[in-house]
Amino acid sequence: MKTRLVVIVGPTAVGKTALALDLAERFGGEIIGADSRQVYRGMDIGTAKPSADERARIPHHLIDIVAPDEVLSLGQYRDLATRCIAEISARGRLPFMVGGTGQYVKAIVEGWTVPEVAPDMALRAQWEQEAREHGPQMLYARLQAADPVAASRVDARNVRRVIRYLEVCTATGRPVSELQRKEPPPYDMLQIGLTLPRPALYRRIDERVDAMIAGGLVDEVRALLARGYSTDLPSMSSFGYKQIAAYLAGQLTLAQAIESTKKETRRFVQRQYAWFRLDDPNIVWLDADARATMRAGEIVATSLGQV
């Protein structure tokens, strides 16, 4: 019998955490984070991590597992998530994978075989410098030449991902798209997606950013910088962190930093919908309204044969 797995996806600020908590509580579940920013310790406010009370209410996994200057590869995440799913199921609990990082989710639900290539920090620094001096399009053109299939799967502005693909191509001498295979995952899966019309979603994003500022995001970034974490780190490129760091350096006003954070987060939503498509037949999409929790509960109960 396959292991049951419930996956909750959707764009930033749509309400995935609240839904997951309610469902996990009702169905005896534990939550596995699928967010590439919430893995970093000390980065709580700007990543909208579940609160201490929420984590006390339901066990959470794959949150706070690396320092801001450490690297967590997609392959490492896949292995950790796979282990978590097995351990939760072995305890007689229902695993809920929850998050908006498309690659993390797809690696599990589509059974990706991810090439194990260690990071080359010197090469990464060289390419990052090139991107700063000549623009990200130059690196993207290099990836298009080396692996057009992989290039078609990534936004040219996502310098970190472009560099990772180039890194794998360089280390192995083979296109990363050739190394990434898919094997049927050993799960009985239910995927639930939450969505909202863009105007409503953008309002939630703006409200969330304002709440982060009110909740102490400036002090959180100041503390990270004081501990020696560089703004060049991938972790510090997260929305909000790089803008507040620029504000603290006198490069932006606070109002400009806030507006830039909101704008970049809205743009990120567009990329999330490219990963989690509204026409994906494997995802049951629900409007994130007052009835979402009730409807999602009915869907999960039906999938578990509890109706």
- Per residue in 227-242, pLDDT tens? 999 998 989 989 999 9
Taking the C-alpha atoms of residue 208 and residue 215, their distance in angstroms, rounded to an integer, is 10
Region 278-289: mean pLDDT is: 96
Q: Which tokens is 63 given?
A: 């949150």
Q: Please enumerate, as own/partner, the contacts of 255-260 that have beta carbons within 8 Å and a separation of 24 or more.
A: 258/209, 258/210, 258/213
Residue 185 has pLDDT above 80, yes or no: yes
Taking the C-alpha atoms of residue 176 and residue 5, their distance in angstroms, rounded to an integer, is 28
**Per-residue model confidence (pLDDT) at position 83:** 97
User: What are 98-123's pLDDT values in tens digits?
Assistant: 999 999 999 999 998 877 777 788 88
**Per-residue model confidence (pLDDT) at position 37:** 96
Q: Please count the other Cβ atoms lying within 10 Å of the Cβ belonging to residue 20.
A: 27
Taking the C-alpha atoms of residue 54 and residue 16, their distance in angstroms, rounded to an integer, is 13
**Per-residue model confidence (pLDDT) at position 160:** 82
Taking the C-alpha atoms of residue 45 and residue 31, their distance in angstroms, rounded to an integer, is 19
Geometric angle at alpha carbon 273, from 294 and 185, rounded to 5°? 75
Taking the C-alpha atoms of residue 270 and residue 275, their distance in angstroms, rounded to an integer, is 9
In the chain, what percentage of residues exceed pLDDT 70? 100
Region 202-224: mean pLDDT is: 98
Q: Which tokens is 110 given?
A: 């589509």
The reported pTM is 0.86
Residue 307 has pLDDT above 80, yes or no: no
**Per-residue model confidence (pLDDT) at position 161:** 83
End-to-end Cα, the chain, rounded Å: 20
User: What are 118-147's pLDDT values in tens digits?
Assistant: 778 888 889 989 888 888 898 899 999 998
User: What are 22-39's pLDDT values in tens digits?
Assistant: 999 999 999 999 999 999
Choice between 274 and 255, residue whose per-residue pLDDT is larger: 255
Name the average pLDDT for the chain: 93
SS3 31: strand
CA R_g for the chain: 19
